[in-house]
Amino acid sequence: MIYYLYDGTFPGLLTALYEAFYSSKAPDKILRKTDYKDNLFAEKVNIRTDQNKADKVYNAIKKKISSPSLKIVYYSFLSELKDVEILIYYYLKLGFKMGSKVENYIIDEKILKLVQVRDKVARERHRLLGLIRFRKLNKQLFYAPIEPDYNIVTLLAPHFSSRLPDQNWIIHDLKREIAVIYNQREWVLTGLSKREVMYDQEELFYQDLWREFFNSIVIKNRKNSSLQRQFMPKRYWKYLIEKK
């Protein structure tokens, strides 16, 4: 069994894929270094991330397969699901043969699986575009804590940088201790540990108004909590102003 071990970054994965296509030892598994547990039968190949090789794979997917396929690869990488890397490898092997048709080749179970993973990540991204709540902190900074299932902060950042370009804001993934930070010009991804925050004085005023609105907009004759939870699962309530 040949195990490729990469650093957990997207360029790292692309480099691993590059090696998979060009070396004589094709991988049976591609794993993050941190996920690897010693295994008697494993022949380890350490992948050193190489931006050049990563760019080559990136461009090849875009040109020889399609942009939607690149999206499938990136989104499923962000799912961080177990063994998703080897599915990506399989997808690309087929994709370089079939071209863009591979996106619709869902009678192949592995392709279908990957498309479904892409859907899951896309769905959570869309959900959080609505469910993120910024809190205004001192010093004109807006702060939104989240704990998403998938690693989607980088998918959220472009939306908010075009929508709220005149605000400084941080979207903080507390589960992964990473954040996207925007300074009214550009956003960057960075590591960020949990910390205490101090609210601006008008913050509580608006939170209070929002809760008032949330409660008075309900039609009581039509109460339907299970429908509410179906759309807005409880795991997201922790950081919702209106549900606290």
State which residue, 45 or 122, has the beta carbon closest to another protein: 122
CB of 75 to another protein, least distance (A): 10
Distances (CA, A) of 25 to 28, 56, 85, 117: 9, 20, 16, 27
Which tokens is 168 given? Answer: 């400084």
CA dihedral for 135, 199, 234, 182, sign (positive or negative): positive
Chain positions 207 to 226 lying near another protein, rule: CB under 8 A, are 208-210, 212-214, 216-226
- In degrees, rounded to 5, the angle at the alpha carbon of residue 115 between the alpha carbons of residues 114 and 117 is 60
Alpha helices, DSSP H, located in the chain: 10-22, 51-60, 67-79, 84-98, 109-131, 153-163, 203-216, 225-231
Q: Candidates 46, 198, 228, 244: give the one binding another protein (CB under 8 A).
A: 228
Regarding 137 and contact with another protein (CB under 8 A), the answer is no
Which tokens is 29 given? Answer: 């598994």
CB of 136 to another protein, least distance (A): 7
* 41: enclosing H helix or E strand: none
Regarding 232 and contact with another protein (CB under 8 A), the answer is yes
CB of 241 to another protein, least distance (A): 7
Regarding 162 and contact with another protein (CB under 8 A), the answer is yes
CB of 22 to another protein, least distance (A): 28
Regarding 62 and contact with another protein (CB under 8 A), the answer is no
Residue 23 CA, chain-centre distance (Å), reads 29
* Residue 165 CB partners (closer than 8 Å, separation 6+): 184
Regarding 99 and contact with another protein (CB under 8 A), the answer is no
Chain positions 177 to 206 lying near another protein, rule: CB under 8 A, are 206
What residues make contact with another protein under the rule CB under 8 A?
68, 71, 101, 104-107, 109, 112, 118-119, 122-123, 125-126, 129-136, 142, 144, 159-160, 162-167, 206, 208-210, 212-214, 216-228, 230-232, 240-242
